Chain A
Amino acid sequence: MTDKRLTIWEQARLHGYSRRDFIQFCGWIAAAAGIEATGVPQVIAALDTKPRLPVVWFHFQECTCCSESFIRSSHPIVSDIVLDKLSLDYTETLQAAAGKQAEEALHQTMTKYKGEYLMLVEGSVPTEEDGVYCCIGGRTALDIVKEAAANAKAIVCWGSCASNGCIQAAKPNPTGATPIHKLISGKPIINVPGCPPIAEVMAGTIVHLLAFDRIPQLDGLGRPKAFYSRRIHDTCYRRPNYDAGLFVETFDDENARRGYCLYKVGCRGPVTYNSCGVMRWNNGVSYPIQSGHGCIGCTEANFWDNGPFYQHLASFPGFGIESTADTVGVTVGAITAVGIAAHAITTNIKKRRQLRQEIKNSDSPAEEKKGGE
């Protein structure tokens, strides 16, 4: 690690790239971040003059599927971003260093680039039992996050674990898994949910930070609007089937073969925000719905608790796994109907008695004088 930080262009030239390669890369990067053609010169200027961004990438309670997804990013090629254009100083999964050297690299970055480094977090942080459920180098994840976040320029939360807790935070959440935004305040936090997030979405978010040196526009849940402002449903190629009321009833029926909408077999597309329908996965090959399976809503908080995945409505707590709000509604409705029937019967008994009484009263001459019925 040299003391003088090279700019991205200088770094690229050092690696033997031509100016032409560099400009081409800037074009990719701009497209990935969703910037229009007129914005490309701005990107070039930024990468020409800005020093490489020091980055630390943490792994806590997670399965590394975010990293796996990220290294499969196609445009721009991930090695270009991470290994050449960023200065990835610490990451448990990819780094060559181990033990003391790795910890030293981390601390060097955190002290040397105080307030300048970008903190990427993959995984949630356990808070139960003082956080013992996830320890690295003898320290709890909670401890590490707090220390690293204190001097970070910004925090990017990779995946649903870091953004909303994902499966570890599903009921009953024994380790007290907590997303980063609930632990850290006063720092810009970008949530990039998904299990995993789409590689191009991850790359696009990083590229935006890299090129513009400021966080992208975020929605109410801290997600980049460029990728999370629309529902899967709104960009789904099966949407016309939904509007036409053509639904798959079971996964092996004629409707499934015809590619009708998967709404009735539990597709979470209408309640899930992501770019799957537009960017798709694995170099744009497909996405779950295109492959005949409903969306499971992996970018949304509590998606594990909103099961079963193959049911439109979630099961109703306390009434068994198959029962939904409708089961409960029908039951309560039936009880109400029985109650009404019982009430109607007693009302009639009461009314008959009253009528008999009134007729008897009107028959008696004393009552007749008073006017009666």
Chain B
Amino acid sequence: MERNSIRRVYVWQLPVRFYHWLNALTVTTSVITGYLIGKPLAIQLGREASFGYWFGTVRFIHFLAAFVFFFNFLFRIYWGFAGNRYADWKNFIPTRRKQWKEVGQILKVDVLQAEGKPIESVGHNSLAGLTYFLTFLAFLFQSVTGFGMYSAMSNAWLPRLFAWIVPLMGGDFAVRQWHHMMMWFFIIFSMVHVYLVFYHDYVEGRGILSSMAGGWKFIEKEVQPKAE
């Protein structure tokens, strides 16, 4: 093992990192406020309604986070065409045989921890890319259903664009139910995502944890950055 011959590669460009942390912030905010909206705290204030607005504020924060989240998401899609090879959209949709092969390899080595050749992707590995693609679908679903519900209380053109989802899903109740269920996808994704980042840093020592702060990863000299 030529562990001393390590070089660093600039993987995550500033817009990607910025997107990542803004996304983390807005998703966390949305999940917390969203859960509270679905299950408000039993604060026994015993006072008149005109003296308080905390639930209104929780909802406002949810909507605010959702708008930022949505535009941030749109930006990331744009960056999938404008960014470097590690940000490219082709990382997320496994269209080539090689990518599917890598998915199987990762399931074997990283998830089931069987013996095998270690995976040496520089950017996202194929399974991670595929998972992020699923999260993008979840982002889309959450945006559409969220704005669909919001359209009932807004005349702004943006939420009105999504009003069609309500009759399509059979009413506001169904939309709310699905929007709520999808929240759990975000929670469980975050658990696994955070764990796996620690896992990779822990067993590979390539600085994956800090890569989302500074953008650099460390790779062995002989590993060629994949031409994506």
> Is A220 in contact with B166, judged by CB distance below 8 angstroms?
yes
Task: Give every chain B residue within 8 A of A347 (Cβ-Cβ).
Answer: 113, 199, 202-203
Cβ of B32 to closest chain A Cβ, rounded Å: 14
The residue from B38, B53, B191 contacting A326, defined by CB atoms under 8 A apart: B38
Q: Does A136 contact B (CB under 8 A)?
A: no
The residue from A313, A344, A371 contacting B177, defined by CB atoms under 8 A apart: A313
The residue from A249, A260, A270 contacting B172, defined by CB atoms under 8 A apart: A270
> Is B152 in contact with A332, judged by CB distance below 8 angstroms?
no
Cβ of A352 to closest chain B Cβ, rounded Å: 11
The residue from B4, B44, B187 contacting A371, defined by CB atoms under 8 A apart: B4
Q: Does A234 contact B (CB under 8 A)?
A: yes
The residue from B54, B153, B164, B173 contacting A245, defined by CB atoms under 8 A apart: B54
9-residue interface stretch from B12-20, B76-84, B178-186, B216-224: B178-186
> Is A245 in contact with B174, judged by CB distance below 8 angstroms?
no
> Is B113 in contact with A346, judged by CB distance below 8 angstroms?
yes
Task: Give every chain B residue within 8 A of A351 (Cβ-Cβ).
Answer: 202-203
Knowing A231-B152, A268-B173 touch, does A255 contact B44 (C-beta < 8 A)?
yes
> Is A333 in contact with B188, judged by CB distance below 8 angstroms?
yes
Q: Does B156 contact A (CB under 8 A)?
A: no
> Is B184 in contact with A254, judged by CB distance below 8 angstroms?
no
- Interface flags for A11-29 (1: CB within 8 Å of B; 0: not) read 0000000000000000000
**B113: nearest chain-A partner, CB-CB:** A346
Task: Give every chain B residue within 8 A of A220 (Cβ-Cβ).
Answer: 163-164, 166-167
**B115: nearest chain-A partner, CB-CB:** A350
Knowing A301-B171, A332-B184, A340-B191 touch, does A234 contact B51 (C-beta < 8 A)?
no
> Is A245 in contact with B52, judged by CB distance below 8 angstroms?
yes
Q: How far is the CA of A280 from the CA of B132 in the complex (A)?
A: 49
- Interface flags for B180-216 (1: CB within 8 Å of A; 0: not) read 1101100110011001000100110000000000000
Task: Give every chain B residue within 8 A of A306 (Cβ-Cβ).
Answer: 173-174, 177
Knowing A300-B171, A340-B192, A347-B202 touch, does A246 contact B180 (C-beta < 8 A)?
no
Q: How far is the CA of A241 from the CA of B47 in the complex (A)?
A: 10
**A259: nearest chain-B partner, CB-CB:** B49
Q: How far is the CA of A314 from the CA of B173 in the complex (A)?
A: 9
Q: Does A71 contact B (CB under 8 A)?
A: no
Q: Does B43 contact A (CB under 8 A)?
A: yes
Cβ of A220 to closest chain B Cβ, rounded Å: 5
- Interface flags for A330-341 (1: CB within 8 Å of B; 0: not) read 001100110010
Q: How far is the CA of A79 from the CA of B28 in the complex (A)?
A: 59
**B50: nearest chain-A partner, CB-CB:** A240
Task: Give every chain A residue within 8 A of B152 (Cβ-Cβ).
Answer: 231, 234
Q: Which of A338-373 contact B (CB under 8 A)?
A: 340, 343-344, 346-347, 350-351, 354, 358, 371, 373
Knowing A245-B40, A263-B40, A333-B191 touch, does A343 contact B173 (C-beta < 8 A)?
no
> Is A247 in contact with B188, judged by CB distance below 8 angstroms?
no
Number of contacting residues on B, CB 8 A?
A: 50
The residue from A263, A302, A328, A350 contacting B171, defined by CB atoms under 8 A apart: A302
Knowing A245-B41, A247-B40, A254-B46 touch, does A325 contact B184 (C-beta < 8 A)?
yes
> Is B53 in contact with A301, judged by CB distance below 8 angstroms?
no
Q: Which of B1-60 contact A (CB under 8 A)?
A: 1-4, 38-47, 49-56, 58
Task: Give every chain B residue within 8 A of A314 (Cβ-Cβ).
Answer: 173, 177
Q: How far is the CA of A273 from the CA of B151 in the complex (A)?
A: 13
Q: Does B85 contact A (CB under 8 A)?
A: no
> Is B192 in contact with A336, judged by CB distance below 8 angstroms?
yes
Q: How far is the CA of A344 from the CA of B56 in the complex (A)?
A: 41
**A370: nearest chain-B partner, CB-CB:** B2
- Interface flags for A270-306 (1: CB within 8 Å of B; 0: not) read 1111000000000000000000000001001111001
> Is A243 in contact with B38, judged by CB distance below 8 angstroms?
no
Task: Give every chain B residue within 8 A of A271 (Cβ-Cβ).
Answer: 171-173, 176
**B178: nearest chain-A partner, CB-CB:** A325
Cβ of A305 to closest chain B Cβ, rounded Å: 9
Cβ of A242 to closest chain B Cβ, rounded Å: 6
> Is B113 in contact with A244, judged by CB distance below 8 angstroms?
no
Q: How far is the CA of A303 from the CA of B195 in the complex (A)?
A: 40
Task: Give every chain A residue within 8 A of B171 (Cβ-Cβ).
Answer: 271, 300-302
> Is A240 in contact with B49, judged by CB distance below 8 angstroms?
yes
> Is A234 in contact with B153, judged by CB distance below 8 angstroms?
yes
Cβ of B112 to closest chain A Cβ, rounded Å: 9
> Is A246 in contact with B113, judged by CB distance below 8 angstroms?
no
Knowing A240-B50, A245-B52 touch, does A333 contact B184 (C-beta < 8 A)?
yes
Known interface pairs A241-B49, A254-B46; 19 further A-B residue pairs with C-beta atoms within 8 A, sorted by A's residue number: A220-B164, A221-B167, A240-B50, A244-B49, A244-B50, A244-B54, A245-B53, A254-B44, A255-B44, A271-B172, A272-B172, A300-B171, A301-B171, A306-B174, A306-B177, A326-B184, A329-B188, A350-B203, A351-B202
* A–B Cβ pairs within 8 angstroms, 28 of them: A231-B153, A243-B52, A244-B45, A244-B49, A244-B50, A246-B52, A249-B42, A254-B46, A255-B44, A264-B39, A264-B40, A264-B42, A270-B176, A271-B172, A301-B171, A302-B173, A303-B173, A313-B177, A313-B180, A325-B177, A326-B184, A328-B181, A329-B181, A343-B111, A343-B199, A351-B203, A358-B1, A373-B1
A residues with a Cβ closer than 8 A to B are: 220-221, 231, 234, 240-247, 249, 254-255, 258, 260, 263-264, 268, 270-273, 297, 300-303, 306, 312-314, 325-326, 328-329, 332-333, 336-337, 340, 343-344, 346-347, 350-351, 354, 358, 371, 373
